Copies of this chain bind each other. A is one copy, B any other.
Amino acid sequence: MKNKVFIATSIDGFIADKNGGTDWLHSIPNPDKTDMGYEKFMSQIDALIMGRNTFETVCEFDIEWPYQKPVFVLSNNLPEIPIKYNDKAEIVNGKLTDIIKEINEKGYSNLYIDGGKTIQGFLKEDLIDEMTITTIPYLLGGGIPLFTELPNRLGFECIDSKIYLGKIVQNQFVRKRQSI
């Protein structure tokens, strides 16, 4: 059972710029439309856990619902899932460890943990096992950071690194809970 992150940041670790913008994420020409491992990653997870913000952002996309896997929306105050997404997503809340246990017991072992605040919440409780971080090569100089304060330092190992489009690097980190 693994909780996995797959996310893009700037070199200085932001997931959105000073104005909340994410245009820079898609600013590098990608003529062959490489997905930088996204479909492969998605094929290896059983369900997603995301925060309310990420869920509502996805709902606002003017596209078809993008996920083939069940989505669990972490929220204490979202009253209900919009009817059109009723069969796609459900609300969960409570203690993270309880939520994960419940989802695992439903048979979803490999979980995609998405959204800045959700990832931060999981990291604070040392509940992330793998992080694939795609570095879009900008220094933004400010914005919404992926990482924030943690009570304890967490050791990982970088087990793989790929360069896409000759410009973008994607590093895969796995958590090492024994001291390294």
Q: Give the B-binding residues of A (Cβ under 8 A).
A: 11-13, 17, 24, 27-28, 123, 131, 133, 135, 137-142, 146-163, 166-169, 171, 173, 180
A158-B141 contact given A12-B13, A153-B24, CB 8 Å threshold: no
A–B pairs, 7, beta carbons within 8 Å: A11-B147, A13-B13, A13-B147, A137-B156, A141-B152, A141-B153, A171-B171
Contact (Cβ within 8 A) B153 A17 = yes
In the complex, what distance in Å separates the CA atom of A139 from the CA atom of B147? 8
Contact (Cβ within 8 A) B154 A158 = no
Picked from B137, B149, B158, B163, the residue with its CB within 8 Å of the CB of A167 is B158
Picked from B27, B142, B153, B163, the residue with its CB within 8 Å of the CB of A150 is B142
Contact (Cβ within 8 A) A171 B141 = no
Contact (Cβ within 8 A) B163 A168 = no
Please indicate the chain B residues that have their CB under 8 angstroms from the CB of A137 in the complex. Answer: 155-158, 173, 180
Contact (Cβ within 8 A) A138 B153 = yes
In the complex, what distance in Å separates the CA atom of A105 from the CA atom of B11? 32
